[in-house]
Structure 1
Amino acid sequence: MQSPRNLRLSLISLLLLVVPASFGALWIRSVAVEQRPIKWQKFTSDAVSMHLRDGRDVLVFASPSYHPESGLAVLALGDPRIRRAFNSGDFVALILEYDDWQGKEIRTLFHEFGPTKAPFVVLYRSEDSPTSIRPISADAVLQHLPETFRPPYGVLFGVSIALWGVIWVIGASRGTGGLHDSTPATPTPDCEDSAQNVKSSRRDL
C-alpha cells in the first residue's frame, strides 16, 4: 500500500501530465479553427441590417470584377490575422461582386461612401458609424476591427510543460524520481522486540 507521501506525489505527477496535455489540445484546436478561410456571404442591404440588429459587426468587400486590384484585395483580406478575427466571431463577412455601376446594391454603397472604380471595404459597426477602407490592406482593416480577448493557450501550454519539468527534476534530484518516497522506513515496536530477542538468544548460545 502506498504511503500518503507517495500517493500525493503520484497525484501531482498525474496532474502535471494532464494539465499540459489539456492546454496543448486547446491550443491546437484554437489554431486550427482560427486559420480556417473566411466564409463570404452574398451582400444585401437587408443582410447588413439583420446582422447589425443582432449586435454583430459586418465587413463588406465590394469587388469589381473588371479591376486588377481585386485579386490583391482578396489576398490582403486572407491575411491570417483577419481570418483569426473572423473565426473568433469578431465580424460577419459579406461580399458584393459587380461588373458595372448600375446595380442597385453597389449604387447604394456609392451613394453612402462615394463612387470609386477600385475595390473597397466597408465595416459596419453595431454600436458606431460605418467606415470605408480604401485602399485595402490587412493592416488598414485590422486597425478598425474590434479587439477581443483570446485565451493564451500556447503560453499556458509552454508554462505548464516547464513547470512539469522543474518539479520532475526536483523529484529526481531527491531520489524520488518524481513518484517514489525515499524516506527510510521506521522500525515498528514489534520489529524492535524481535531484534532484541535475536540478540538475547545469541548471547545465551
Structure 2
Amino acid sequence: MPPPIHWTPFTWVEMEQQVSDENVVLLYCHPTYAVPDDYLLEEFHDLRLLRLHADGSFVARTLKYDDWEGDDIRKVFQHVGHTKYPMAILFRPGVPPIRIDTLPIEQWLDLIRTTHRFGRGE
C-alpha cells in the first residue's frame, strides 16, 4: 500500500518554479473555518492517486486562507474562480490551471499521467 499523500504548504512562487521544472502540482485549498478532516476529498485516498504521488508524478501542496485574504489565494482565485468550499486544482506545464474537485477521479488520473509522461519526454 502506498503511503498517504504528503501535503506541504503552497506558495504561488514555489508552484511556478515546480511547473517550470515540468512538475505537476496538486493544490488542495480551503478556508480556515472549514475543518480539514471534514472536507478532505475522498479522492485523496484513492490507491491509484496514492501510487502516482509515490512515484513522483505530482507534488502535493495545501493552502488555508482567511476570508479570501492573501496574495496566494487571490492569485488562485484569479485563475480558477472563487468559492467558499474547498477545492483541488492541478497546475501543469504549458496549460492553464484546472479545478479538478468537480471531476471524476479517472479524469484526475488521466490529467496527471498524461502531463507527467509527456512533460518528461517519455
TM exceeding 0.5: yes
> Partners of 1:71 and 1:118 in 2: how far apart?
12
Q: Which structure has greater strand proportion? A: 2
Post-superposition offset of 1:137: 5.5
Task: State which of 52, 63, 69 in structure 2 corresponds to 1:96.
Answer: 63
Identify the structure with bigger relative contact order (alpha carbons < 8 Å, sequence gap 6+): 2
Shift of 1:86: 0.5
Other-structure match for 1:122: 89
2:40 match: secondary structure: helix
Identity %: 30
Is 2:18 aligned against 1:51? Answer: yes
Of 98, 104, 111, which aligns to 1:144? 111
Root-mean-square deviation over aligned CA pairs: 2.5
Gaps of 5+ in 2: 118-122
Query: 1:190 maps to what in 2?
Result: none
Please, which of 33, 50, 56 is the counterpart of residue 66 of structure 1?
33
Using the TM superposition, give the Cα deviation of residue 55 of structure 1 relative to its aligned residue in structure 2, in angstroms. Answer: 1.3
TM-score by length of 2: 0.78
Aligned residues, how many?
116
Checking the alignment, whether the CA contact within 8 Å between 2:24 and 2:57 is kept in structure 1 is yes
- 1:109 pairs with 72, 76, 79, which one? 76
Query: CA 1:101–1:133 in structure 2 vs 1: closer, same or farther (change >3 Å)?
Result: same
CA distance in 2, matches of 1:83, 1:77: 7
